[in-house]
Amino acid sequence: MANQKKTGSSNPNLLKELIGWALLFVIMWGAWAMFKPPVSQPIQLSYTDFVTRVQAGDVKDVTFEISDAIQVGTGTLKDGTKFTTIAPLYDASLYPLLVEKGVVGDFSNPQRSVWLTLLLNIGSYVLLIGVFFFMMQRMQGGQNNQVFGFGKSRAKLFMDNRPRVTFKDVAGLDEAKEETGELIEYLKNPKKFTTMGATIPKGALLVGPPGCGKTLLARAISGEAKVPFFNVSGSEFVEMFVGVGASRVRDLFTQAKQYAPCIVFIDEIDAVGRHRGAGIGGGNDEREQTLNQLLVEMDGFDANKGIIILAATNRPDVLDPALLRPGRFDRRVVIDLPDAKGREEILKVHAAGKPFAANVSFSTIAKETAGFTGADLENLLNESALLAVRRSKTEITMDEVEEAIDKVIAGPQKKSRVISEDERRRIAFHESGHAVVGKALAAREEVHRISIVSRGMALGYTLQLPTEDRYMRTSEELLREVAGLLGGSASEKLFLGSISTGPSNDLERATDVVHRMIRAYGMSDKLGPLTYGKSSDLVFLGKELSEERNYSEETAQAIDAEARRLVEEQYQRATEILEMNRAVVENLVKVLLEKETLQGPELEEVLKGVIDLTASTVQIQPPAASSGAPVSPQPAL
C-alpha cells in the first residue's frame, strides 16, 4: 500500500515536469524562428526552362519527389541559386539527359504504379469503414456477436465448466438445501417421483436478506445437479428498445429446451418481475412485456418439461402475484439470517485455508456476531487475516478476530482523533452507565465489551451479546432495552451534573422503540391493542415514501404523551439503578480511563458487584415534569 501511494503521488510531479520542458522547448523554438537569418526563397522554373538549363550544363543537382501524380523537383544551379520545377511522370528522356550532363542526384525510377497510388488514396477510407463495422459488432454484444443480435439471450451456459461449489461448501442452510435437494434428485432420477404420481415444482424462489447465500446456494445446486445450468440476471432482459426483453426471454427458453433437463437461474428477478400496472407507461411498459413473456414461458399453453426455474430476490413483496402462484414458482425457499449454530458452521467453512491459533473459539465468535450474514462472516475472517498480516504474525489469534468484530460493527479506530481528558472522563461515565444498567436488567444478554476508544462516528461503545437466539421479545424486555439506552445519559446527569450531545443517538433509538411498542405492537395499556399508521409505498419504485395516518389528531397527541411517559419512566429507572450501584460505576470509570477497553473475565470482575434486578421490577415513582425541550441530533458516543 505504501508503494502504491508513493507511485500515485509522484505521477503529478512527473507530468508537471514534462509540461514544463515542453513549454520551454516551444519558447526556444519560437525565439529561434523569430531571430534566425532569412533564407532565400528558391526560384520557380518551368519544365522547359529546366530542361534547357540542364542541356546548357547550368544545373548542379536535383531531387524528384512524387506528389499527387506529379514530380516535384528541387535542386541547385551551379551559381548557388535554389530552384523548384514540376516534371511530368512519364518523360523517359529526362533521366538519361541528367546522367549525361553530370547532374548530381538519385535517378533510379521514382515512379510508382497507378494501383499503388490508388491504394494509398482510398486505403484510409476502407480502413475507417472497417473500424466502424467492427465497433458496431462490439457494441451489440451478445454471445453471437452479431450486429442485429439485440433479441439474443445474455444467459451464460455452464456444462462441464460449471462451478465446483457443492452443498458441502454451503453451511447454515440445512432446510434450504433439503428443499432444493428434491429438485436435484428429480433431475437425476425422475422415475422415483413419477411412480408416486408426484410432479416436481416448476420453480423455486430463493428469498432472503442480502448476503445470506442465495446466489451461493444456486451455484451449489449447479455443482450438485450436473446438468446444464443457465445463469442470467433479471436486469439483462430489459433494454431501451421495445420488445427486446420479451425476445430474450423467448430465446432463453428456446435454448433451455434444447438442453433439457436443465436449470435456469434468474438472479435479482425483482428487476423484471415487479407488479404490473404500477410502472410509467402502464401495460405498454417494456418491463411488463418482458414479465408477460416470462409468465407465458414458465406456465403457458406449451408446457416446458425438464426445465426448472430458480430465482433469487430480497424483495418478494414487490413481485407480481401471477409470478408467485403455483405452477410457476411453486416453492418459496426462505434463506434467513443464520442462528448461532449456523454462524459457527459458516465460520468453519470460511476458516479453511487460514492459519488460526489454538485460542480462537468459533462458538464464541458466533455468539458475538448476532445478526451477521454469511457475507459479513466471510468479511470478518478476511479482516482478521489482514490484521494478522499487518501485525507480522504467522497465525490469526483471538485478538485480531475481536479487533475485526469491532471494526465491522463500529468502524476502524480513530487514532488521529485527539480527545481531552474531560471528554474521556465523560465518555467513560457514559459507557459505564450503559454497562451497569444493562448488567442489572438484561437477563438474556450479557455485557461483553466496553471501550472508550473512538471508532467511526462513535466516541465509545458498549457491546452486549444475547445468551441465546431470540425470535420475539416481550414488552418488559423492550422497556429494559430503553432503560439501557438511556443509561448513558442518566449517568452523565447523575455523576457529572449535565448532559452532553453524545446521547443523541441513544435518545433516537429509545424513542423509536417506544413508538413501535405503542403503534405497531399494541403494548400500551392506555391506547389498547391497536396498530396506528400504515406505510404506503409505490411498488414500481420499491421504497417506502410516506405513512398513511389512520388515526385522529387527538390519538396522535395521546401517542406522543404515552411515548413521553414510557421514556421518562425508563430514564428514572436507569437513574435509580445507577444510584444503587454508584460505587461500581465509579470503579468502572477508573479502570476504563486506565485501560480504555475491558472484556472477558476482567470486565466480569469489575461488574460482579452490580445488583441483579432481572428477577424483580423496580418500583418507579411518577416522573417529574419536564420542559420537553427538543434535542438536536449530534454524533453519538
The CA dihedral of 42, 43, 47, 49, to the nearest 10 degrees, is -140
**For residue 68, what pLDDT is reported?**
61
Supply φ then ψ for residue 226, to 5 degrees: 55, 40
431 annotated active-site: yes
What is the distance between the alpha carbons of residues 76 and 47, in angstroms, rounded to a whole number? 15
Q: In 555-577, which positions are buried (b, 16+ CB within 10 angstroms) versus exposed (e)? A: eeebbeebbeebbbbbbbbbbbb
Compute and round to an integer the Cα radius of gyration of the chain.
40
Give CB contacts under 8 A, 24+ apart, made by 514-522: 514/482, 514/562, 514/563, 514/566, 514/567, 515/559, 515/563, 517/475, 517/478, 517/566, 518/559, 518/562, 518/563, 518/566, 519/559, 521/475
- Going across the sheet that includes 597-599, the strands are 461-466, 445-451, 597-599
- 263 Cβ partners below 8 Å, 6+ apart? 183, 187, 221, 222, 225, 227, 228, 229, 230, 307, 308, 309, 310
- 61 Cβ partners below 8 Å, 6+ apart? 75, 76, 103, 104, 105
Cβ-contact 246, 293 below 8 angstroms: yes
**For residue 625, what pLDDT is reported?**
36
Q: List average pLDDT for each run of 10 residues in the chain, which is 637 residues long.
A: 42 64 72 60 80 83 72 80 78 76 66 54 66 58 44 63 75 82 79 80 86 85 81 76 75 84 86 72 65 82 72 87 86 86 88 88 85 88 91 89 83 71 88 89 78 78 74 87 92 90 88 91 88 62 57 89 93 92 90 85 83 56 36 36
Which amino acid belongs to residue 548?
Answer: E
Cβ-contact 442, 462 below 8 angstroms: no
**For residue 3, what pLDDT is reported?**
44
**For residue 443, what pLDDT is reported?**
64
Phi and psi based region of residue 57 (left: phi greater than 0; alpha: psi -120 to 50; beta: remaining) = left
Nearest CA to 366 out of 347, 386, 387, 385 is that of 347
**For residue 574, what pLDDT is reported?**
92
- Going across the sheet that includes 262-267, the strands are 156-158, 229-233, 262-267, 307-313, 203-207, 331-334
Helix axes of 582-595 and 553-580: crossing angle, nearest 10 degrees: 80
Name the pTM for this structure.
0.63
**For residue 158, what pLDDT is reported?**
65
Render 210-255 in DSSP notation, one character per residue.
TTSSHHHHHHHHHHHH-S-EEEEEGGGT--SSTTHHHHHHHHHHHH
**For residue 155, what pLDDT is reported?**
64
What is the distance between the alpha carbons of residues 84 and 89, in angstroms, rounded to a whole number? 16
**For residue 221, what pLDDT is reported?**
83
What is the distance between the alpha carbons of residues 200 and 585, in angstroms, rounded to a whole number? 63
What is the distance between the alpha carbons of residues 281 and 276, in angstroms, rounded to a whole number? 10
Cβ-contact 216, 335 below 8 angstroms: no
Task: Calculate the CA 209 to chain-centre distance.
Answer: 14
Q: Within 469-539, where are the H helices?
A: 475-491, 504-519
- 167 Cβ partners below 8 Å, 6+ apart? 177, 181, 220, 224
Write out the three cell numbers for 43: 526560384
**For residue 632, what pLDDT is reported?**
33
What is the distance between the alpha carbons of residues 270 and 278, in angstroms, rounded to a whole number? 13
**For residue 28, what pLDDT is reported?**
74
Q: Count other Cβ atoms within 10 Å, centred on residue 233.
A: 17
Residues in the chain: 637
**For residue 403, what pLDDT is reported?**
85
E strands in 291-438: 307-313, 331-334
The catalytically annotated residue of 288, 368, 431, 562 is 431
Nearest CA to 491 out of 454, 557, 440 is that of 440
**For residue 278, what pLDDT is reported?**
60
Furthest C-alpha separation in the chain: 132
